[in-house]
Amino acid sequence: MKKLLLSLTLLAGSMASAQIFQENWDGNGPGIGDWILYNLDNRTPVGPDGLQGEPLSFLVQDAWTVLSLSDIQGANPDYPGYPAAATGMDGNIIASNSWYTPVGVANDWLVSPLITVPAGTTGLNLNWAAVSLGDPDFLEDYRVLISPTGGSAVANFTTLLLDVNDELNTGNYRTVSLPASLAGTSFRIAFQNDGNDQYVMFLDNISVTGTLSNSEFLANKFNLYPNPSNSIVNISSDDAILIDKVEITDINGRIVKSFNADATSSTSINVSDLNAGVYFLNISSAEGLAVKKLIKN
């Protein structure tokens, strides 16, 4: 029993939860400039004149539009703020709508930047906050899809992750498991608004989370730059982890360079004498061994 408990303790200690990707439209994430928008319906949002709420719909002129709470309340003064159930929804959000003139089905895509998952990651999840505006008769529909190859065209999104009908107007926070096969790959996610004559929906606090092996978690704490490089490579740690030794190996595992760093939190290596190719830096530190890939030009 003692051996079993010790093994379980060691296993738990060798894994670490991590946020692999995030976007909250407030600066934590790549920002809208790195996302791709497809407005495939080419329909015109209902204009600012007429029934209450139409000014808000008219703010969403692209497939998806980043709006602040003041933007939203300026168009719809009766809007009280984001529902508490939409966990993490705050500040700026991104909005899409399906209220058009003439009436028609939305086909608006929000495509993420490439999301790279370290090999060995387990328990991958996609998380986001969402809310439909308006009364229960006008709740938004949307789909969440994956491009497993990392392609950004609509045709690349071959995996349907979730099909949402009538998203809650009281707010929602969703967590959906991602395929384990995505570990060690780069992929994209997409949100497609396919509502039919509804109103407006908001998304926020989009993230991909997973459990990294201890070596991958530790590797993420080290910065390696410039990479690719043809001369000097710098190693540093935002957490001021002390580096004891660095070994550079080729793709066959042979050590091609080694030196002692004497317990410093940053150091530099001259790799100008190495042939062009892919190498691995094995960084021995006070917290363990981390491995970083280096491309030598």
**Regarding the domain delimited by 214-296, which CATH topology (the fold level of the hierarchy) does it fall under?**
Immunoglobulin-like (2.60.40)
Distance, CA of 26 to chain centre: 14
Which backbone phi and psi does 268 adopt, to 5 degrees?
Answer: -130, 150
pLDDT of residue 144: 98
Considering only the top CATH level, what class is 16-212?
A: mainly beta
By the 10 Å C-beta count (0-12 exposed, 13-18 middle, 19+ buried), 199 is classed as buried
* Token duo for residue 154: 């609509």
Structure tokens of 18? 């991590």
Summarize pLDDT for 58-70 with one digit per residue, the tens: 899 899 999 999 9
Could you tell me which residues are beta bridge partners of residue 219?
Answer: none
**pLDDT score of 50:** 53
CB 269 within 8 A of CB 246: yes
Burial 213-229 (b: 16+ CB within 10 A, else e): bbbbbbbbbbebeeeeb
Enumerate residues 6+ apart whose C-beta is below 8 A from 253: none
CA atoms within 13 A of residue 45's CA, in its CB half-sphere: 23
The tens digit of pLDDT for each residue in 239-286 reads 889 999 999 988 777 889 988 988 888 999 999 999 999 898 889 888
Task: Note the pTM of the prediction, 2 decimals.
Answer: 0.73
How wide is the angle at C-alpha 288 spanned by C-alphas 284 and 289, nearest 5°? 50
User: What pairs with residue 38 in β-bridges?
Assistant: 109
Determine the 3-state secondary structure of 272 from DSSP.
Answer: coil
* DSSP E strand stretches across the chain: 15-23, 36-39, 65-67, 93-97, 108-111, 115-116, 122-132, 142-147, 159-164, 172-177, 186-193, 200-213, 222-225, 232-237, 243-250, 255-264, 266-270, 277-285, 288-296
Q: Give bridge partners of residue 193 from the DSSP assignment.
A: 108, 142
Phi and psi torsions of 69, nearest 5°:
-60, -35
Question: What are the sequence ranges of the domains in the chain?
Answer: 16-212, 214-296
- pLDDT value for 101: 87
Which two structure tokens, joined as six digits, stand for 126? 């996609």
pLDDT along the chain (297 residues), means of 10: 30 58 94 97 82 76 95 91 95 95 94 89 95 92 97 98 97 97 93 95 96 77 92 90 90 84 90 92 85 89
pLDDT digits (tens, 9 = 90+) for 129-143: 999 998 899 999 999
- Amino acid identity of residue 107, one-letter, is N
